[in-house]
A and B are shown apart, each in its own frame.
Chain A
Amino acid sequence: MEHLSFEFGPFPSRPRPAAPVIVGVVGSGNMEALCEPASLGGKMRVEVHTSARGFAATWEAVLGDFAARVKVPDVVVTINDAGATPAVVGLRLAQAAAELEAP
């Protein structure tokens, strides 16, 4: 298990979902992402727990693009990864983004 932590933002404040959002499942080649509101001075924090070691740079690139796209302030995203490909990570994050942006 490797633990990685990233922070993005701060982003301008905006109405945010009150309830946590969860997408995906923990299973081989898959991952889950849990998005929870938190007071972070407008920042987004991402905690990655991954079974695949040595992909910190890829995570940073994928998550940086995700943060720049959704710009959600004051949220903690917890990722439990069981060896998802970048494509699956991207899909889960896109699903999370769609949930966060849903009215």
Chain B
Amino acid sequence: MSKVWNHGEQEKARRLAAAAAAGLGKVVDAGRIGDLLAAVLASGDRICVEGNNQKHADFLSQALAKLDPAAVNNLHVVQSNLALSSHLDLFERGIAKRLDFCFSGDQGVRMARLVKEGRIELGAIHTYLELYSRYFVDLTPRVSFIAAQSADSEGNLYTGPNTEDTPAIVEATAFKNGILIAQVNELVDKVPRVDVPADWVSFVVKAPKPHHIEPIFTRDPANITEIQILMAMMVIKGIYGPYEIARLNHGIGFDTAAIELILPTYGESLGLKGKICRYMSVNPCPTLIPAIEAGWVEAIHCAGSELGMEGYTAARPDVFFNGPDGTMRSNRVFCQLAGHYSDLFIGSTLQVDLEGNSSTATATRLTGFGGAPNFGSESRGRRHVSPGWLKAGRESARPGQATVPRGRKLVVQMVETFREKMQPTFVDKLDAWALMETFNLELPPVMIYGDDITHVVTEEGIAHLHKCATLEEREQAIRNVAGYTEVGLARDRKAGEKLRQRGIVQRPEDIGVDPRIATRDLLSARSIKDLVRISGGLYDPPKRFRNW
């Protein structure tokens, strides 16, 4: 007997036939979603319910959570983001069992409980690129549930500016005989552009309500503090300038928003326009508008979009990656890759230990990572050079190590020494260790490893960790910018002075940053309303950010 080589094909055909037998065509009425799921799902299936940073297939997720666990169970969920309560209802109700994911955010506390209760069998917490890669290795979804803006009657999909993770999910599912179900906001005669071709799509459902999108990249300039402005000045003058950082990735948060907002003022006064921040891998953060309008930023590729920025991005096609229809297309995988191979990543974190390891894990929540681990790691596959990459590489060279010269990516953590409620950012031991114990993980979930970090910036100064020859030096460099936390108070002052003389620790005055101008006057926009005005009315902020 000859071996069968098309089990997947046969299984897909069987399920599509079951749907057809139930009277379901390619475009399925929302009222019959239960029948569709019953026809195409089987216990033990590996599924992906498109849950991105921002866009969520929420209607399909809710429908899945209503399934009868006696009929469908033991599903294996492989998706980047678990942000909706319905994502976890699947586990709570015994429909799904195993989970491989990246980020859970607001659902972190409930997820921790479900893992403890044994309702979730945790595979691994991944970084984004890691999980998407595994879609093409050993975690290929059998059925994927995605979200798009519109579909035509044949099933061609338009994802709109929030394309995000859709291409990765679609490619892995459609090309391994998986079943692809899309919820769309509208059915149209002709889609504005084809983001997913119809023959990859199995079913389309018009959801009763538009899919959920979270505006997670909007930071109101009104909330930016003088400390953040001081740190932003240090980053621009002490790092972006000397390392000539033309290509970079900004994390999300008020710290990096402050940098963006003082480029047209402070950056301009330093004569850095045209030299730094020319190419960015980042979402269309509204706080980038003043720098874009002032001609700082030449091009931005986005992982996702941001609510309210659709009109602005469409009107700036030289800057953003827009389709032939005129609207932006984002792509998280490509943006993560672009950022990985750029010259610098800068972001914030909740905790930094004495080796410089950083983590956002707290002992009671399972939240995962987000984009930082891939953006914020040394790109050892890089070969092209740039001034900052070469400079950091030279500064990292050590006697007794390999003699072949190489470059180095700059990875910067920008943190205040204390977080809200006087929680110290600098700690002897990361909470990630407690999390490892609690959930029987093999490793503590570190977000960015200390040996990948080149700089820690606090209100106290800059620590150039990559210049430290030993772990002891690195520890003292960290303690000497840790201010009045316990870690900071335990610093060796003499060692600190030596590190300062060697330029490993720099105070604001050492790099000519004048604290007297660290005021909100330095912000090129001080409110959301300013951003709207500077955009020429193209930015249309969501209601929650309008206070006028």
Residues of B within 8 A of A39 (CB): none
Given known A-B contacts A58-B484, A86-B484, A87-B483, A94 and B417 have beta carbons under 8 A apart: no
Judging by beta carbons under 8 Å apart, are B459 and A90 in contact?
yes
**Which A38-97 residues have a C-beta within 8 angstroms of B?**
58, 61-62, 85-88, 90-91, 94-95
Given known A-B contacts A94-B515, A95-B516, A98-B516, A88 and B484 have beta carbons under 8 A apart: no
Given known A-B contacts A61-B489, A85-B418, A85-B422, A90 and B483 have beta carbons under 8 A apart: yes
Q: With A and B bound together, what is the CA distance between A88 and B416 in angstroms?
A: 10
Residues of A within 8 A of B514 (CB): 98
Judging by beta carbons under 8 Å apart, are B418 and A91 in contact?
no
Residues of A within 8 A of B458 (CB): 87
Q: With A and B bound together, what is the CA distance between A23 and B226 in angstroms?
A: 13
Judging by beta carbons under 8 Å apart, are B459 and A61 in contact?
no
A36 in contact (CB, < 8 A): no
Residue of A nearest to B519 (CB): A95
Given known A-B contacts A85-B416, A87-B418, A91-B230, A61 and B515 have beta carbons under 8 A apart: no
A90 partner, pick from B225, B422, B460, B509, beta carbons under 8 A: B460
Main secondary structure of the interface of B (DSSP, over half): mixed
Q: With A and B bound together, what is the CA distance between A90 and B518 in angstroms?
A: 12
A99 in contact (CB, < 8 A): yes
Judging by beta carbons under 8 Å apart, are B459 and A87 in contact?
yes
Judging by beta carbons under 8 Å apart, are A98 and B515 in contact?
yes
Residues of B within 8 A of A61 (CB): 484, 489
A95 partner, pick from B417, B422, B515, beta carbons under 8 A: B515
B304 in contact (CB, < 8 A): no
Residues of B within 8 A of A99 (CB): 516
Judging by beta carbons under 8 Å apart, are A87 and B417 in contact?
yes
Residues of A within 8 A of B489 (CB): 61
Residues of B within 8 A of A62 (CB): 484
What 1/0 flags go to B180-193 for Cβ under 8 Å of A?
00000000000000
Judging by beta carbons under 8 Å apart, are A91 and B518 in contact?
yes
B299 in contact (CB, < 8 A): no
B508 in contact (CB, < 8 A): yes
Q: With A and B bound together, what is the CA distance between A95 and B484 in angstroms?
A: 18
What 1/0 flags go to B501-516 for Cβ under 8 Å of A?
0000000110000111
Main secondary structure of the interface of A (DSSP, over half): helix
| Residue tally, chain B, CB below 8 Å to A | 20
Judging by beta carbons under 8 Å apart, are A86 and B418 in contact?
yes
Residue of A nearest to B518 (CB): A91
Judging by beta carbons under 8 Å apart, are B516 and A87 in contact?
no
B30 in contact (CB, < 8 A): no
Judging by beta carbons under 8 Å apart, are A91 and B459 in contact?
yes
| Cβ distance B517 to chain A, nearest Cβ, rounded Å | 9
Q: With A and B bound together, what is the CA distance between A58 and B488 in angstroms?
A: 11
A86 partner, pick from B417, B508, B516, beta carbons under 8 A: B417
Residue of A nearest to B424 (CB): A86
Residues of A within 8 A of B422 (CB): 85
B315 in contact (CB, < 8 A): no
Residues of A within 8 A of B484 (CB): 58, 61-62, 86
Q: With A and B bound together, what is the CA distance between A93 and B490 in angstroms?
A: 22
Residues of A within 8 A of B230 (CB): 91
Judging by beta carbons under 8 Å apart, are A86 and B483 in contact?
yes
B227 in contact (CB, < 8 A): yes
Q: With A and B bound together, what is the CA distance between A99 and B460 in angstroms?
A: 18
Judging by beta carbons under 8 Å apart, are A91 and B227 in contact?
yes
Residues of A within 8 A of B418 (CB): 85-87
Residue of A nearest to B459 (CB): A87
Residues of A within 8 A of B226 (CB): 88, 91
| Cβ distance B206 to chain A, nearest Cβ, rounded Å | 49
Residues of A within 8 A of B459 (CB): 87, 90-91
Residues of B within 8 A of A95 (CB): 515-516, 518
Q: With A and B bound together, what is the CA distance between A85 and B483 in angstroms?
A: 11
Judging by beta carbons under 8 Å apart, are B416 and A94 in contact?
no
Q: With A and B bound together, what is the CA distance between A85 and B226 in angstroms?
A: 12
| Cβ distance A102 to chain B, nearest Cβ, rounded Å | 9
Q: With A and B bound together, what is the CA distance between A10 and B251 in angstroms?
A: 46
Residues of A within 8 A of B518 (CB): 91, 95
Given known A-B contacts A61-B489, A62-B484, A94-B508, A87 and B227 have beta carbons under 8 A apart: yes
| Cβ distance B496 to chain A, nearest Cβ, rounded Å | 11
Q: With A and B bound together, what is the CA distance between A22 and B217 in angstroms?
A: 37
Residue of B nearest to A61 (CB): B484
Q: With A and B bound together, what is the CA distance between A62 and B417 in angstroms?
A: 13
Residues of A within 8 A of B227 (CB): 85, 87-88, 91
Residues of B within 8 A of A87 (CB): 227, 416-418, 458-459, 483
> A residues engaging B (CB < 8 A)?
23, 58, 61-62, 85-88, 90-91, 94-95, 98-99
7 tightest CB-CB pairs across the interface, nearest first?
Answer: A94-B515, A87-B459, A86-B484, A87-B227, A95-B515, A98-B516, A95-B516
> B residues engaging A (CB < 8 A)?
225-227, 230, 416-418, 422, 458-460, 483-484, 489, 508-509, 514-516, 518
A-B contact pairs, 19 of them (CB 8 A): A61-B484, A61-B489, A62-B484, A85-B227, A85-B418, A85-B422, A86-B418, A86-B483, A87-B227, A87-B416, A87-B459, A88-B225, A88-B227, A90-B483, A91-B518, A94-B515, A95-B515, A95-B516, A99-B516
